[in-house]
Amino acid sequence: MTLPLEGKVALVTGASRGLGRADALKLAEAGADVVVTDILIEDDQNLENTSESLGPIAQIMTQTKQIYTKSTTEQIREMGRKAAAFKMDVTDRSEVETVMKQVKEQFGKIDILINNAGTLDHTARIEDQNDGFWERDLRVNLTGAYNCCKAVWPYMKEQNWGRIINMASVAGTLGGYGQASYSTTKAGILGLTKSLALEGARYNITVNAIVPGIIKTEAFEFTNPSMRERMIARTAFKRPGEPEDIANAIAFLVSEQAGYITGAGLPVAGGIDLFTF
């Protein structure tokens, strides 16, 4: 069995659950050593206080013990790969730089960055948008990805090789009713991706975005049931995608086989952007 990512070191943000966790496990299956990062860590003494500051979904996940940052690293080690877990707040530029430096020292390099950390719990029409959540979403979803890209960039330039994947959304390409903050940040991710793709090409760094649609993560289960059905009905397949669908696309884009693909926003959305009826 060939392992296309053998010898590579990947870092995944927001990997305690959902898409990030699936991405980390898939990269390990493909042969990479994986660094799992998240602001939520199981054995953090301040876990409850941290989750309260992040919003309702983080609080629910903490209360129901659906935080798998360190346990994910154990699964990766069982595959025969190296792994480490780091608590990292992507909005804290200094902390991001410190973690990236520690990973470089511990693993020798950083080949792959998956910017998955994000918020998805602020839904309200513009007159009811929470100004604090608007600012939070900008900090986490957009500036957080910027912080991670900027911190890892010198290492990728030095080795003349790198793969960066930014997580966008169909909300960023189609808009989302009641999702002004989320849609804005995801549209911004696409602009960041294209700009960095232009800068990275001369250093053999590719930068691409995944544009997910309706994916069956833990957070999706908290969506209003009637709204869930309406969203699913918009897809061509009439079903939500699985986290593995996203992870499989990422595993390809970070491989050598995708070395001539950069600046792309790849929809993994089950045809939700098609004219379905």
Please identify every residue annotated as catalytic: 182
Q: What is the C-alpha to C-alpha distance for residues 95 and 148, in angstroms, rounded to an integer? A: 10
Number of H helices, E strands in the chain: 11, 7
Pairing of strands 162-167, 205-212: parallel
Q: What angle in degrees, to the nearest 10, is found between the helix axes of 93-107 and 144-159?
A: 30
Q: What is the C-alpha to C-alpha distance for residues 232 and 10, in angstroms, rounded to an integer? A: 32
With 0-12 / 13-18 / 19 or more C-beta atoms within 10 angstroms meaning exposed / middle / buried, residue 49 is exposed
- The token pair at 193 is 């991706």
Distance from chain centroid for Cα 142: 11
- The token pair at 182 is 């989320």
